Structure 1
């Protein structure tokens, strides 16, 4: 079990960051849908508190993941991959990292502008980033929803591209991120 990335696959640390964030993003979508279906009251506030805690967990993991990536280079893309796919892979990865950071940041700004605290599972409360302001809240609410939906779309395209590489191209691209023993 290799902690660091190698020239041919991602290490356990990168895999753990990747799959943890995937599971947490799916959790976020479920919590957001659940909250949207609830009337304003204690149940909705409790679900939104969970949503905020999971969002801030994603934010913190993404920061650590990026730091890890800077000190631990990723394996190169397959040599036979067309140039346009290489460009698309770099753009989509950049977009995913940006959206994984921006989405919870906009949620935090939205909560601050509404004067709603952002707690991390009741352990501690993050400081407000802006003063309460209804117009600012409306802006960040809309921005948070837009970037969250964009994140989900790009993540789905990313997953479909990985599946295409695995099952159609058979170039082993997906296998590099799976926690399975590599073929010798």
Structure 2
């Protein structure tokens, strides 16, 4: 069976780890009451993870558009193949939508985004309390949707590994 290229595999697992870290950190930081130094530090880390996901997702998308992925197993039905392709493209959309919504939410809150403490990401607009309140649930629900799609992606990979035993997972393992 064909495998993904090494850059695709590296980007896949790196982005996956960053998404999981950003999601878990987001859950932890929003549960910290008040405005503490720890909470502020976690918010900064969360933003750094989001920007990193966005940048790596852009690289991954460019790579994906240049490199055809390996063929899916012949044992998969056309419906399964279409669902797999749709799921992958939905993941790409969410890998962009979640960090962009977070950036817009932060900008609307009037909080600068300083990547890795080194340089500030320019704000596209002035702070807006009304926009901040509108974007907060957008960012939250996009994250929940991303979590659900990631879980579905993992469950599908495990199904292929342990039930179908078609070697699909091996294409993406390092």
Sort the TM-score into its range (normalised by shorter chain).
over 0.9
Please give the TM-score of this superposition, normalised by the length of structure 1. 0.91
The one of the two structures with greater contact order (alpha-carbon pairs below 8 A, sep at least 6) is: 2
Matched, 1:108 2:103: yes
Q: Please state whether the residue corresponding to 2:50 is helix, strand or coil.
A: helix
CA distance in 1, matches of 2:86, 2:3: 20
Q: 1:27 Cα shift?
A: 0.5
Deviations 1:83-139 (A, max 9, x none): 111111011111100001100000000011111011211121111122211111111
Structure 2: segments with no counterpart, 5+ residues = none
Let me know the Cα RMSD of the aligned residues: 1.1
Contact 1:108 / 1:129 at 8 angstroms: preserved in 2?
no
Structure 1: segments with no counterpart, 5+ residues = 1-6, 180-184
Q: 1:25 Cα shift?
A: 1.0
Greater mean deviation of Cα atoms: 76-85 or 18-27 = 76-85
Please give the TM-score of this superposition, normalised by the length of structure 2. 0.96
Q: Please state whether the residue corresponding to 2:59 is helix, strand or coil.
A: helix
Kindly report structure 1 stretches of 4+ aligned residues shifted beyond 3 Å. Answer: none
Decide which of 138, 146, 163 is 1:143's aligned counterpart: 138
Number of residue-to-residue matches in the alignment: 173
1:119 alignment counterpart: 114
